Every structure is written in C-alpha cells, then in structure tokens.
A and B are shown apart, each in its own frame.
Chain A
C-alpha cells in the first residue's frame, strides 16, 4: 500500500542533542513537507521540498535542518539550537501541481528531557 512512513513514533532526547526524524514515502510525490503541531495551535510549516536536492524554509525553520537526496526521503534534524523542540512532528507529501491534496504520516512525538 502506498503511504508515508515516519519513524520513530516516540523519541526522547536530552538537551543539547541533535535528533533526526525519518520520513519515507512511496507515493511518487514530488513535494514533501514537515509540520510541527503544538497543543491548541494549528500545524506550522517547518520546511518543504518540491524536488530532489532542493528545499525551502517554512514559517518556523530556525533550529531545524532537512535534506532531500532522494525523492522518497525527507529527513528532519532537530538541532540543539531549537529552543523548544518538544512537539509532535508530522511529515506530508503531495503533488506539486493541482489540488493541494496532502498525504500525512502518522507523526513522531519528540520529548526533550
């Protein structure tokens, strides 16, 4: 079945450590996105990529980094520079043209101890 796989589902990190969240899709989508979800707030865009080897900052990119070496993969690194990294992170993918329909992964919950 086609879809998006995020891993790990739960992750605990000590302050000062970098962590990388994995996002893999087999939908042949060109565009991939990372969102952050906090209680009581709408999803906020961290980074997006429309094509391999290219990505753009979203609204809250500070303290995060991404790469897009393969069409299927868009890993997100939460660096030690991110001041408040505890959150739920969602990866999504979609076509680059047409109707804005996104497919979401199941999410990764990061807790900083």
Chain B
C-alpha cells in the first residue's frame, strides 16, 4: 500500500463545477503539500499546510491531522485548472512522499 493515496485518479468536470480531490496518508508528517503539474511537466507548489485550512483564490486546502486526510477544493472550476494535482507529505527536509496524482480535466 502506498504511503500517500489520492482519489480519484482521474476527474472530469464541467466548467463552473465544485471539485474535490482527496489525499490520505499513513505516515507521520511535518507538513502536507498540494502541487500542480501542467501538461508540459513542470510542477508548482499550491499549498503547504500542517493544520486547518488555507485558501488562495478559488483553491482551498484542508487537513485533518487526526484522520491523516487532506482535501483540495476548487470552486467555480475553469478549463485552465486542467492539470495533474499531486499530494505530497514531508517527513523531514529530505524525505517527501508523493501521491500518484489526480488528473483533472475541466470542459468548457
């Protein structure tokens, strides 16, 4: 079993829909990260959180430490949100574990 599990693996939505991507992990962590990977391959960091909730524009990330679960929400989704979203957990400065990613396609 992977240490970081994401669901769903693939997600197709219509423009404007509310989207939720889930991440569960099985190890102790110092922080959890949500990353975005566009078709060209480069990865950008969206959020780093260790408790509670963070919001940036239409993106919201939450984490429940006791349940070892995090969610990434996208409100009013847009085709430009189409990307692979990756959950990663940091255990120390050199030990990060990555989920397999959720491929999101938002159709106009």
Contacts and interface: CB of A to CB of B under 8 A. Distances in A.
Given A31-B93, A100-B31, A100-B33, A40 B100 contact: yes
Given A42-B2, A42-B4, A42-B86, A100 B41 contact: no
A99 B48 contact: yes
Which of B86, B92, B101 has the most C-beta atoms of chain A within 10 angstroms of its own C-beta?
A: B101
Nearest to B89: A100
A27 B2 CA distance: 32
A101 B94 contact: no
Interface residues of B, number: 26
A76 interface: no
B44 A104 contact: yes
B41 A96 contact: no
Give chain A's interface residue range (CB within 8 Å of chain B). Answer: 20 to 34
B14 interface: no
A104 B93 contact: no
A81 interface: no
Interface string B36-61: 00001111110010000000000000
A48 interface: yes
B43 to A, nearest CB: 4
A75 interface: no
B45 A101 contact: yes
B26 interface: no
A102 B96 contact: yes
A88 B48 contact: no
Given A42-B88, A99-B90, A104-B43, 20 more contacts: A42-B100, A42-B101, A43-B88, A43-B98, A45-B96, A48-B94, A50-B94, A88-B41, A97-B93, A98-B93, A99-B31, A100-B48, A100-B90, A102-B96, A104-B35, A104-B45, A106-B41, A106-B42, A107-B40, A107-B41
